[in-house]
């Protein structure tokens, strides 16, 4: 088994598949990449049994082997971190040669200046992965010919990345509430919502259908780790579902030469719409960057346990205040705003407030202005960018005001 390839292209290929390699595993094969060569194409597979990634690239084979190896497939399991570490350490220019003795799986990597040896494993030891090898990418040109109950969704690169980026930060890490450890994708034909919440804050991003309509009235929870990977997609993406015993078990994403397959979370997402206040008669317009910067500065003086920042709003002025009675530290800062309603006094966990503000991009606002909606002081506060279309909603729960521990 032998091929040569550009180092830069191979580095990019490894970057795409390495996220599926587990930090540590009781199964040695999971710490290996499955290399397959066929017809001048290298395919690399990585899995941790929850997420599987497959990506490919063209490679060159020695001229004297091309005819002999035509239509044959060669495989070896390569130590994932070892090859990734050496390839990252090499200058991303020129080519390298990969040679493997399929009798003993000794691997040699040669560059212009160096030689590196490692030991591979027999590819027959790899997992079966039926969700990968028994599923197929739907033909995007024939989506209209699929059965009515066939699930497919086409995302532009920017839409899918945006949905993932805006929602995933609010996911819960509480394993006792598995439904909230993922992002809910709500497909409603003309649009799709990506929703995440940990009970303290909530994020909902919306994308409207472009060339292709989304599935109608279908909800799906995708694990946060998978959604995090979607922030790096670099091409139009086709989403489909994989069933086992008439039950949806996995979701599949195809983009470019890469396939990512993930288990789904088969739980019921909480009815988040019920916690979104509808009578928000107190509205504050404020500069996003100024509020975020002030929050970061004032929070330096907050109590490290309560992480509380108080907010006072009146007469077009928002004042942030924090204090720590144990140390005597205090911090206050004024931010101009547009508000002429009754006095508002409320408090937040500054960490949650910062994360919500950080995930409202200024390019989705008009002149960097966001709108904060208040109702009763113990009710959630809504934050939205002032923009033409209503495609982003953030929610944050207030905390009871107190000082000290």
Which domain CATH number covers 281? 3.10.150.10
Tally of structural domains, the chain: 3
Radius of gyration in angstroms for the set of CA atoms belonging to the chain, rounded to a whole number: 26
Q: Could you tell me if 252 and 162 lie in one domain?
A: yes
Is residue 250 one of the residues assigned to a domain?
yes
Is residue 172 one of the residues assigned to a domain?
yes
Q: How confident is the model at residue 405 (pLDDT cuts 50, 70, 90)?
A: very low
Is residue 36 one of the residues assigned to a domain?
yes
Is residue 132 one of the residues assigned to a domain?
no
Q: How confident is the model at residue 288 (pLDDT cuts 50, 70, 90)?
A: very high
Is residue 402 one of the residues assigned to a domain?
no
* Rounded distance between C-alpha atoms, residue 203 and residue 206, angstroms: 10
Q: Could you tell me if 257 and 336 lie in one domain?
A: no
For 177, residues 6+ apart whose C-beta sits below 8 A from its C-beta are none
Q: Could you tell me if 196 and 291 lie in one domain?
A: no
Q: Could you tell me if 164 and 263 lie in one domain?
A: yes
Mean pLDDT, the chain, integer: 92
Per the structure, the complete domain to which residue 343 belongs is given by 276-396
Q: How confident is the model at residue 388 (pLDDT cuts 50, 70, 90)?
A: low
On the question of pLDDT at 65 being above 60, the answer is no
Q: Could you tell me if 264 and 334 lie in one domain?
A: no
Is residue 135 one of the residues assigned to a domain?
no
Crossing angle between the packed helical segments 7-17 and 80-89, to the nearest 10 degrees: 140
Sheet bearing 282-287, strands edge to edge: 218-223, 182-187, 191-197, 201-208, 392-396, 381-385, 369-374, 282-287, 329-338, 317-324, 308-314, 344-349
Q: Could you tell me if 286 and 260 lie in one domain?
A: no
Q: Could you tell me if 100 and 41 lie in one domain?
A: yes
* Least confident range of 27-31, 210-214, 305-309: 210-214
Share of the chain above pLDDT 70, in %: 95
């Amino acid at each position: 088994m032998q091929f040569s390839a550009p180092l830069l292209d191979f580095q990019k290929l490894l970057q795409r598949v390495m996220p599926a390699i587990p930090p540590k595993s009781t199964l040695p094969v999971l710490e290996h990449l499955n290399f397959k060569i066929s017809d001048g194409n290298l395919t690399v597979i990585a899995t941790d049994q929850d997420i599987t990634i497959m990506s490919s690239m063209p490679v060159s084979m020695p001229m004297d082997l091309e005819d002999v190896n035509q239509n044959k497939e060669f495989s070896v399991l390569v130590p994932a971190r070892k090859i990734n570490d050496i390839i990252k350490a090499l200058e991303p220019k020129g080519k390298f040669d990969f040679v493997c003795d399929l009798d003993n799986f000794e691997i040699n990597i040669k560059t212009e200046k160096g030689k590196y040896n490692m030991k591979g494993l027999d590819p027959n030891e790899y997992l079966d992965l039926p969700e990968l090898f028994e599923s197929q990418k739907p033909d995007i040109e024939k989506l209209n010919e699929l059965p009515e109950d066939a699930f497919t969704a086409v995302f532009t690169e920017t839409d899918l990345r945006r949905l993932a980026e805006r929602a995933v930060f609010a996911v819960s890490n509480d394993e006792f509430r598995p439904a909230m450890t993922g992002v809910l994708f709500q497909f409603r034909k003309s649009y799709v919502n990506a929703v995440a919440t940990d009970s303290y804050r909530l994020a909902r991003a919306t994308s409207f259908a472009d060339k292709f309509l989304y599935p109608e009235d279908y909800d799906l929870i995708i694990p946060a780790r998978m959604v995090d990977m979607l922030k790096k997609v670099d091409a139009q993406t086709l989403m489909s579902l994989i069933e086992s015993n008439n039950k949806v078990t996995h979701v599949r994403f195809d983009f470019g030469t890469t396939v990512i397959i993930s288990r789904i979370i088969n739980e019921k997402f909480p009815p988040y719409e019920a916690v979104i206040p509808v009578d928000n008669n107190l509205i504050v317009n404020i500069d996003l960057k100024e509020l975020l910067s002030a929050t970061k500065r004032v929070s330096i003086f907050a109590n490290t346990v309560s992480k509380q920042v108080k907010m006072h709003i009146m007469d077009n002025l928002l004042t942030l205040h924090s204090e720590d009675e144990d140390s005597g530290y205090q911090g206050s800062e004024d931010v101009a705003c547009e508000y002429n309603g009754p006095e508002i006094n409320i408090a937040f966990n500054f960490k949650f407030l910062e994360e919500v503000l950080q995930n409202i991009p200024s390019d989705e606002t008009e002149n960097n202005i966001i709108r904060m909606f208040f109702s009763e002081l113990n009710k959630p506060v809504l934050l939205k960018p002032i923009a033409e279309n209503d495609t982003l909603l953030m929610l944050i729960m207030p905390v009871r005001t107190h000082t000290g521990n």
